[in-house]
Amino acid sequence: MKRLLITGAAGGLGRTMRHRLAHMAEIIRLSDIAEIDAPGPNEEVMRCDLADADAVMRLVEGCDGIVHFGGVSLESPFQTILNGNIVGTYNLYEAARAHGCPRILFASSNHVVGFYPQDRHLTATDPMKPDSLYAVSKCFGEALASLYHDKFGQETAIVRIGSCFEKPTNRRMLATWFAADDFAALIERIFAVPRLGLPIIWGVSENAQMWWNNDAIGWLGWQPKDSSDRFRDAVEATPMPAPDDPTVRWQGGGFCAEPIYKDKTE
């Protein structure tokens, strides 16, 4: 690719992935509403509020691919989620449509199925059961990607990211952990295959404890190599939570217990 756009480049995922993806394009365009670290040799920075449609239109111009990490990543008041995750995602897809439909990786979330119990094994065809307003915004993003694929041919990989951190820190994350190198390898395949379509992919490593089934995307040629098992002894040495604790009851963990936050003006 000539230019790959990474939105949300100042966030946790953006900071983790930008250097791992540097080889994928001649120019990596980094964007966020927040300040971004100084660009590297083949990086360029464009600050952008995703809720600003004109700014997003300029942001997407000249891009051959988009890794969309941008938006709100935690449960927040609805207005905050509306601007960052709903209006912002709509603006991104409209800009992509105007600029030739560059392939998109949409960072969805495991929280779209957060209210399934941890003893339920899921495929991508199981109905959504969002655990938060944040998760509802990701359900919207998945539906928007489906609409733009069917109506305009916009290809999107919907990646329902588990827990992409340095290591798992609780029992739930033994099942949801997603190693950064596995994620980078997945992104490479998403932009390498000649035809993508609209796959829903569970963003998870090859953990022994597993709730989600990726058999349907074998054609992508991606196989995670890391596993949370090497952290299991350390995690299981911590005290066992109570049986009704959301972190051991629901796939969405603590998000299932979050209140509905209100803006201070409400």
Catalytic site residue 261? no
The answer to whether residues 104 and 66 touch, using CB atoms and an 8 Å cutoff, is yes
Catalytic residue among 93, 134, 148, 261: 134
Residue 26 CA, distance from chain mean position: 23
Q: Where are the alpha helices (DSSP H) in the chain?
A: 12-17, 53-60, 78-81, 88-98, 133-152, 173-176, 180-192, 232-236, 246-249
Q: At what angle do helices 88-98 and 133-152 cross, to 10 degrees?
A: 20
> Cα dist. 38→42, 45, 63, 65, 150 in Å?
11, 8, 20, 22, 39
The answer to whether residues 203 and 219 touch, using CB atoms and an 8 Å cutoff, is no
Give dist(CA 175, CA 233) in Å, integer: 14
Give dist(CA 98, CA 266) in Å, integer: 37
| Residues designated catalytic | 134
